Amino acid sequence: MISDTVVELSRWQFAVTSLYHFLFVPLTIGLSVILAIMESTYVMTGREIYKDMTQFWGKLFGINFALGVTTGLTMEFQFGMNWSYFSHYVGDVFGAPLAIEGLMAFFMESTFVGLFFFGWDKLSKGQHLTITWLVALGSNLSALWILVANGWMQNPVGAEFNYETMRMEVTSFGELIFNPAAQVKFVHTVAAGYTTASAFVLGISAYYMLKGRDIAFAQRSYTIAAGFGLAAVLSVIVLGDESGYTDGEVQKAKLAAIEAEWHTEEPPAAFTVIGLPDQDAMVTHHAIKIPWVLGLIGTRSTDTPIIGLTEIMQNNRQRIHNGIKAYSLLQQLRNGERDETLIAEFESIKKDLGYGLLLKQYTDKVVDATDEQIEMAVKNSIPQVAPLFWAFRVMVASGFIMLIVFVIAFISSSIRKCRKDWILKLSLYTMILPWIACETGWFVAEFGRQPWAIAEVLPTFLSVSSLSEWDIILSLAGYVFLYTIFLLIEMFLMMKYIRQGPSSLHKRRYHFEIDERG
Amino acid sequence: MLFDYETLKIIWWAFLGVLMIGFAITGGFDLGVAVLLPFLGKTDEERRVIINAVGPTWEGNQVWFVMSGGALFAAWPTAYAVSFSSFYFALLLALFALFLRPLGFDYRSKLPNPEWRANWDRALFVGGFVPALVLGIAFGNLLKGIPFHFETDMRIVYFGNLLGLLNPFSLLAGLISLSMFIMHGAIYLQIKTVDNINQRAQKIAVIFTVVTLALFALAGGWICFLDGYHITSEIFPNAVANPLAKFVKKGPGLWLDNYGHLPALWAVPASAFIGGLMVLVLSIINRPGSAFVFSCLMITSIILTAGCSMFPFIIPSSISLNSSLTVWDSSSSLKTLNLMFWVTVIFLPLIMLYTSWVFRVFRGKVTVEHIHKNNHTLY
């Protein structure tokens, strides 16, 4: 029997390591594109200041990129190290996009990033610009393939279970790649990366302007960030995850949990702005609701209902009963019986096998599960509502505040008279918001998938490796210890270079060096 | 579909080899250079020469390593699951050491403080030394077999521990990989540097070529007595991936079986020795470029020797022989192998093409003057 503690610890470790990793990834994705935009401007106008901008923001990009690579390595190792049953069970499907990511994107990004930093004197202007775009393309393609893999975890299309190999196998790569859940996630995540990088450039440029340093440099950076950021944040919000939520049963549960929609309402459903979700009683106390809005956003119609959690659980109860039958047939197949009617019967209900596996958390003998155990499995077949409810609202609120700030920044960078100190301060303090939005967004996507590792296919509980509690306590402690030190070093270097500003390029034309020359 | 399941399995065994060898001959010299950093660089400038000799290209080289893991996951998912969870602490150690590399390279010269730089130099050393050793130890354990078996529902259970991984034969394998990467790194530095560092690198290259050959010969002798594995039941190369459908025996010297059946295979270990001797000669007469080619040959042959000895085994199980993972029964499905075959056939040559272009752009020596001139932009 798998220990609950091992499962909890493995989940904590995965959450900690991926949330750390996700501190650096959005900035890399977005900043690579901003660098390419800046350098394109340099090549088109021939003005050195745009080259300086590319190089200075490139330095900050490098400091961030190093930690992105460092923490990314963990992710690749971790599936096998801590989630070995997952790796065996879905590697045939899940491994492919990860490997394609390496071959198509990560190789390109990593090979050319050296040329980006050290190739300025060795390449022509056009060649170097091409390299910068290829680095940007690499990091964006990287996101695409990772999200194809992740999208499949949310909505596992194009694959089916094979009883002979006891794992999921690919039936259609087309479906896997064009999985609507993956496509929507890709656009949402990449646009979030652009927003993050824009807020980063915007905030730091505002800081220079507030200090009255390197104004020409800061203004140009600010303008690019404001324009790019406004487009990006609009994409995040408009193309946001919303449209993807209804693909797949687990996505439906996630949507209902985010909105604390305990029961299916008469369409179009009302949107709960805020309230206190109570999972045991299945009500939201002190709820403030806006009629119609949820139904409109969630279904883009006035007559399609959004399924409530109660109804989802009822449906899950039925599927768990089917799953028990599927599991019992699977046992016979695994024992070598190859009766044709047996195979046919199993094939007809194997889509519910995963629901049977949910019972493994409560009993080793799935086939003999008691009613009480089945009820526990039903109760836990939906995610915890309150954390999702709140995380989602924090994410959305951050998104809308950023939208307002980018609109103001865009106007103030287009009309010179509007450039007020309060706008610059606002730009500076907004810098933290994209990180809050990205981290809560990751949480909503992955916590909302629970109790599944692969929606409707493989419970998180079963996915772990057969490690001991101490194995994971030690590794988790190691990760937290090292990552914290790394993060402190990174922040220290980042701050140092931000304070120096473009003077760190030693081109003898920026603030501190001009002062030195007196 | 161009190939049948059997052929695709063999192709993917070969691809995995290509990726590992790709890492060993590119990322391998980066690891070696990092190990040599504190010994060959006496001053800060010399150390920066050494770091910048690999600075612009190490990042791409390391992807071969990541890619080996990714290909293992996609093409041999069960082998990925067994090896990564079994080598838990060994891999954790390698991973923690590898963390120090991107940070060491990128952060070291961003501040002038000597203490800061000295600490990152230590970090870079650890980041080279530990992975070079641990990867070899992991290979040694693959040859010995890992104590794992499959429970109901194909759940992997592992009965070993970190100390068990540190057995004498595997430590020898660890020393081989460490010394071969040091040799390779020294030859690379011989190509990329001048004067003092160049001369020191030459000495190291000569010493470690001899050490590598001696250790490799020792391991070869040991293999004759080490327990190998052999499939005793009929093999169905086109069967679905079920590792529990065969019988396996274990016995001393069985890893030499393949050489008995196919004597031409002796050319593989032999070319490791020939390569090594050529490296010695060419390094001594100061032709490091050619020496590098032969050092690549030597490394390739050493890795291939391990692969050829074990074929068709990928991960033998030492406690549940029939659970052993082989080429025939632990791969992905036909569909996945086929798709990934085409992706690899398209992208791998492309990767080799742009990687060699990047190396061409950065060809030439790195000197102290070069460091002075680009004080603020180089690592």
- The DSSP code sequence of B76-133 is -HHHHHHHHHHTHHHHHHHHHHHHHHHHHHHHGGGS--HHHHHHHHHHHHHHHHHHHH
Residue B257 lies in a domain: yes
Structure tokens at A492: 């220290």
Residue B239 identity (one-letter amino acid): A
Q: Which of B58, B95, B240 sits opposite A73 (nearest CB)?
A: B95
- Chain B CB within 8 Å of residue A504 CB: yes
Residues of A in contact with B77 (CB under 8 A): 87-88, 90-92, 95, 167
Per-residue pLDDT at A289: 86
- Chain A CB within 8 Å of residue B335 CB: yes
Residue B247 lies in a domain: yes
Is the per-residue pLDDT at B377 higher than 90?
no
Structure tokens at A230: 């406004």
d(CA B100, CA B103): 5
Least confident of A75-89, A236-250, B126-140: A236-250
CA distances A411 to A196, A212, A222, A313, A419, Å, are 19, 20, 12, 49, 9
Residues of A in contact with B150 (CB under 8 A): none
Residues with Cβ < 8 Å from B260, sequence gap 6 or more? Answer: none
Q: How far is A170 from chain B, CA to nearest CA, in Å?
A: 7
Residues of B in contact with A114 (CB under 8 A): 55-60, 358, 362
Percent of chain A with pLDDT strictly greater than 70: 97
Is the per-residue pLDDT at B295 higher than 60?
yes
CB atoms B358 and A63 under 8 Å: no
Least confident of A76-80, A490-494, A513-517: A513-517
Per-residue pLDDT at A292: 79
Which residues 217-256 on chain B approach chain A with CB closer than 8 angstroms? Answer: 240-242
Structure tokens at A441: 């967004």
Residue B28 lies in a domain: yes
Residue A12 identity (one-letter amino acid): W
Per-residue pLDDT at A518: 44
Q: Which of A66, A103, A506 sits opposite B344 (nearest CB)?
A: A103
- Chain A CB within 8 Å of residue B80 CB: yes
- Chain segment A432-481, per-residue pLDDT in tens: 999 999 999 999 999 999 999 999 999 999 999 999 999 999 999 999 99
Q: Residue A94's closest chain B neighbor by CA?
A: B74
In angstroms, what is the C-alpha Rg of chain A?
Answer: 25
Tell me the average pLDDT of chain A.
92
Q: How far is B49 from chain A, CA to nearest CA, in Å?
A: 14
Q: Is A451 helix (H, G, I), strand (E, B) or coil?
A: coil
Cα angle A97, A253, A437 (rounded to 5 degrees) comes to: 65
Residue B343 lies in a domain: yes
d(CA A318, CA B288): 71
The mean pLDDT of A376-392, rounded to a whole number, is: 94
- Chain segment A90-106, per-residue pLDDT in tens: 999 999 999 999 999 99
Residue B378 lies in a domain: no
Which burial class, exposed, middle or buried, applies to A435 when counting CB atoms under 10 A from its CB (0-12, 13-18, 19+)?
Answer: middle
CB atoms B67 and A120 under 8 Å: no
Residues of A in contact with B347 (CB under 8 A): 103-104, 107
- Residue A516's pLDDT band, with cuts at 50, 70 and 90, is low
Question: Could you give the ipTM of this predicted complex?
Answer: 0.94
d(CA A344, CA A321): 18
| Residue of A55, A118, A148 to mutate, interface with B, max B Cβ within 10 Å | A118
The pair phi, psi for residue A278, each rounded to 5°, is -125, 105
Per-residue pLDDT at A243: 57
CB atoms A123 and B361 under 8 Å: yes
The mean pLDDT of B171-175, rounded to a whole number, is: 97
d(CA A176, CA A201): 36
Residues of B in contact with A115 (CB under 8 A): 56, 358, 361
CB atoms B102 and A164 under 8 Å: no
Residues of B in contact with A88 (CB under 8 A): 77-78, 81, 154, 156
How does DSSP classify residue A431? G
CB atoms B340 and A111 under 8 Å: no
- Chain segment A271-320, per-residue pLDDT in tens: 888 899 999 888 899 888 888 777 777 777 778 888 899 999 999 999 99
Structure tokens at A136: 């940007």
The mean pLDDT of B315-332, rounded to a whole number, is: 96
d(CA B176, CA B186): 15
- Chain B CB within 8 Å of residue A158 CB: no
3-state helix, strand, coil in chain A (%, to 5): 75, 5, 20
Q: Residue A482's closest chain B neighbor by CA?
A: B96
Residues of B in contact with A486 (CB under 8 A): 99, 103
Other beta carbons within 10 Å of A264: 16
Higher-confidence residue of A133 and B376: namely: A133
Higher-confidence residue of B1 and A355: namely: A355
Residues of A in contact with B20 (CB under 8 A): none
- Chain A CB within 8 Å of residue B84 CB: yes
CA distances B328 to A389, B19, B238, B242, Å, are 48, 20, 7, 9
- Check if the beta carbon of residue B155 is closer than 8 Å to that of residue B187: no
- Chain segment A342-376, per-residue pLDDT in tens: 999 999 999 999 999 999 999 988 999 999 999 99
Which burial class, exposed, middle or buried, applies to A289 when counting CB atoms under 10 A from its CB (0-12, 13-18, 19+)?
Answer: middle
Number of domains present in the structure of chain B: 1
Chains A, B: CB contacts within 8 A come to 235
CB atoms A486 and B103 under 8 Å: yes
- Check if the beta carbon of residue B195 is closer than 8 Å to that of residue B370: no
Which residues 280-299 on chain A approach chain B with CB closer than 8 angstroms? Answer: none
- Chain A CB within 8 Å of residue B352 CB: no
Residue B379 lies in a domain: no
Ramachandran area for residue B255 (φ above 0: left; ψ -120 to 50: alpha; else beta):
alpha
- Chain segment A35-68, per-residue pLDDT in tens: 999 999 999 999 999 999 999 999 999 999 999 9
Q: Residue B61's closest chain A neighbor by CA?
A: A111
The mean pLDDT of A10-22, rounded to a whole number, is: 97
Per-residue pLDDT at A300: 74
- Chain segment B99-154, per-residue pLDDT in tens: 999 999 999 999 999 999 999 999 999 999 999 999 999 999 999 999 999 998 99
CB atoms B88 and A471 under 8 Å: yes
Q: Which of B60, B67, B158 sits opposite A114 (nearest CB)?
A: B60
Residues of B in contact with A162 (CB under 8 A): 240, 333
The mean pLDDT of A369-396, rounded to a whole number, is: 94
Q: Which of A62, A92, A471 sits opposite B106 (nearest CB)?
A: A62
Which residue range(s) make up the domain with B294? 5-373
- Chain segment A160-185, per-residue pLDDT in tens: 999 999 999 999 999 999 998 898 89
Alpha-helix runs per DSSP H in A83-172: 84-100, 107-118, 125-154
- Check if the beta carbon of residue B354 is closer than 8 Å to that of residue B60: no
Residues of A in contact with B98 (CB under 8 A): 70, 73
Q: Which of B102, B156, B241 sits opposite A165 (nearest CB)?
A: B241
d(CA A163, CA A169): 10
pTM of the entire predicted model: 0.94
Residues with Cβ < 8 Å from B362, sequence gap 6 or more? Answer: A114, A118, A122, B56, B57
